[in-house]
A = this chain, B = another copy of it.
Amino acid sequence: MGDPTAILVALERAGFRRTAPRRALADLITAQDGHFTAADLVAAAGAERLGVGRATVFRTLEALEQLGLVERIDLPSGEHAYVACERSHHHHVVCSRCGRTSEIDDAGLKAVVHQIARRTGYRVDEHRLELFGLCPACLAEQPGPASVPA
């Protein structure tokens, strides 16, 4: 998923220093191909003997999340995972087999949210939509028997 430098530049622009651990984490994150957990990063950093502590991983992820460079998603299993992504508001489809994700824009959701707000009387400030299924590649590899969507 592109260039680790983008992350560092964005961090720098937000007033964060450009340090060795953050550089290492930027590399690891851009190398990830689907979603990843904080534990994944900690393990990866440990495996490559980068000497990056747990605390730093969490701190960096928190900063990146606030900058919108990374989004936290909640897997069906209850785990918290992260996805590197664009800065605009959007949602994700997560492949439950290979873990890859695709970003999707509004796709008509705004109207749905609006309607719900009107029906329930709530003022909706925030929403989260997460989709899980099989990506095209995994679908091709594994010609599922009954491909009846939910």
Q: Which residues of A contact B (CB under 8 A)?
A: 72, 74, 76, 78, 80, 89, 93, 95-96, 102, 104, 107-109, 111-113, 115-117, 119-136, 139, 144, 147, 149-150
Q: How many copies of the polypeptide does the oligomer hold?
A: 2
Alpha-carbon distance A122/B107, docked complex (angstroms): 15
A/B interface sample: 17 pairs, CB < 8 A = A78-B80, A89-B150, A93-B120, A95-B122, A96-B125, A102-B122, A104-B119, A107-B112, A112-B112, A122-B139, A124-B133, A124-B149, A126-B133, A126-B150, A127-B131, A128-B129, A129-B129
Are the CB atoms of B112 and A125 closer together than 8 Å? no
Give chain B residues whose Cβ lies under 8 Å from the Cβ of A127.
129-132, 150
Interface centre among A89, A115, A120, A122 (most CB of B within 10 A): A122
Name which residue of chain B comes closest to A95, CB basis: B122
Alpha-carbon distance A125/B107, docked complex (angstroms): 18
A150 with B130: in contact, given A109-B112, A111-B108, A115-B107 (CB under 8 Å)? no
Q: Is the interface of A mostly helix, strand, loop or mixed?
A: mixed
Name which residue of chain B comes closest to A136, CB basis: B121
Name which residue of chain B comes closest to A72, CB basis: B78
A104 with B124: in contact, given A72-B78, A74-B74, A129-B129 (CB under 8 Å)? no
Alpha-carbon distance A134/B120, docked complex (angstroms): 10
